[in-house]
Structure 1
Amino acid sequence: MRILVTGHKGYIGVIVVPMLQAEGHEVVGLDSDLYEECTFGDGIHEISEIKKDIRDVELSDLEGFDAVFHLAGLSNDPLGDLNPTLTYEINHLASVHIAKLAKEAGITRFLFSSSCSTYGVAGEKMVKEDADFNPVTPYGFSKVLVEQEVAKLADTNFSPTFLRNATAYGLSPRLRFDLVLNNLVAWAFTTGRVHIKSDGTPWRPIVHIEDISRAFIAILNAPRDIVHNQAFNVGVTEENYQIRDLAKIVEDIVPGCHIDFAEDAGPDKRCYRVDFSKLMQTLPAFKPKWNARLGAEQLYTAYKRIGLTLEDFEGPRYKRIAHIKKLLGNGRLDETLRWRNAKRAETKTEMEINYAL
């Protein structure tokens, strides 16, 4: 297959691309590469690419492909909160626009990288794909809206699938430190403290980015009729943890560290436990290989090899929100988060946020 991967230079994209190539697929990337100065460790595997903001994608960009892996977007809650209007424009409207163009271009398979954050406030109960949406952030709302609108595009020729990823972790050349396990190991290694910013009680399902990539590939390879217009929680049911349990794993792995709570630590309303049995039962080809302990060991080894410092992971090099603010401050990005001097779409309209579900 000839596959377009949007966000191919992001945290997950740089992992899934070589895995797709190993499967024999021809892969082209599409990315504005906001984090071109943020590569961690080894370099990024280069492929043919379209350097473009996803808001500016045109029909011609999508012609000739068999499938789209849509990963691109503002990647976390702090970025979403920076400017909720831009989250609405980039994560929601641009994603739906790309899906419509993909359908018009005759692309038959569209895999959307959604999130378990769509469940938001679910508490102690285990949630399956038929659970009510209850997002609490612009990021979570944007994922819900894309799923709802792209699902309406499905027909005999256009087949979308929605992958609701658990909280990701794991090593990547475009490493993110805003993710809970990556962050806890970084604090432990650089300061000797496993620094917890909540009271440690919220539940989170976590999944390694290589296993997310395996899920995408398993869905791509699956018979169309069993994944058509379906949502799948992506992760492993046994990998639901309270934050304090993840901290204990990190404390066991990183020598000489201890668990430390922030002074203003309190409960986090984002709390959800997720059932992943549908993915396992529907797609036996999906074989996850990671768990939290193995992931923490992988991260600790990488941080030692690179010589990670507190300034690195809390500063603008690797912290997404800090890097974006730096690019805005030095004028390299405009207020819409586009590169200055980059080609922009000629037709723009004013948009109003409406996150009422």
Structure 2
Amino acid sequence: MEEAKKILQKTHGGLDVFKHYLGEDCTAQFFRNPYRKDKRASCRLYKNESGGDSYYYFLQDFGDSQFCGNCFVIVAKLLGYNLNTDFKRLLEQIDRDMKLNVFSSYDDGFHGKQVKLKKVIACGSKEKQCSISEFKPITKHFSDKELEYWQRYGIDEKTLLRYDVKSIKSCSFVKTDGKKFAIVSSELVPIYGYYFNGGLGIKFYRPKSEYRFMYAGDLPKPYIFGWNKLPTSGERVFITGGEKDVLSLAAHGFYGIAFNSETAKVPEDKLKELSERFKEIIFLYDSDETGIKESKERVEDFKNRYNVSRLQLPLEGSKKEKDISDYFAIGNTTEDFIKLINEQRT
């Protein structure tokens, strides 16, 4: 609509609209979302150049992709407008609230809505788990930038496809209470899906989001990533900390599995089956305090019954350098890893 263009022109590409409804803090490099429970400053405004003198501002919330969009998308969400059916009403309210004088008059029966502060907890957060009754993912081809992200860990597209990892364009959800929401991938916040149960369930991975993991579908008990990709027998198998670690191992020629976390209980029946198929089982957890503690406890639990050991990576244990995918990302090779296995296995 022409009025939308005029509003953008009068508000410096929507920047003043964001400031009006979100407060002056939104001009900081990163700021907290005042409309949801946000402990971190996870929001940022970006200027989108459209060519010539045309530009607009775009809000990216790294903690919750539901709060992403231009000023009209965000204000519609805050005020409860439907962009498809109420767009003109939305523009009228912005015009009236900010006294922009874009409209000479308003439609009969116009009543502006009030912003209601509310705390929204992103699905998958530590505070609360969402109950999903339906979900509909839309996948797409991996972009060059997405493949570049995986390649830093030595993971190629062939490995991703072999392990049923897909690039998610978007996914719509229906909760058990009937409420609907969606997550949408962007170049800044990509979404990947670890599919399980023949596609009946997905574990979403958002590496650049505050809430990195979400689940939809029935999560198997136990959840074991990579189990159905193991051979019937082999020299060794690694039990590692996460899906990306399994993928990185696979891309370098090793077999591995991961439970839902390093602190998850390892079922003895699964360990027994692994011992019958592989000559040795190696716990390869993170090189931080938790990973070292948990791997030592697992070996202590099972060492008298199975051929288990642990391998500690020569990494500093920080967020950027603690697991096997980081080990390969900083330049170590397959040969380096084999040498480490032979030298340091305990």
Whether the TM-score (by the shorter chain) exceeds 0.5 is no
Structure number having the greater helix percentage: 1
Bigger-Rg structure (1/2): 2
TM-score with structure 2 length normalisation?
Answer: 0.22
TM-score with structure 1 length normalisation?
Answer: 0.22
Structure number having the greater strand percentage: 2
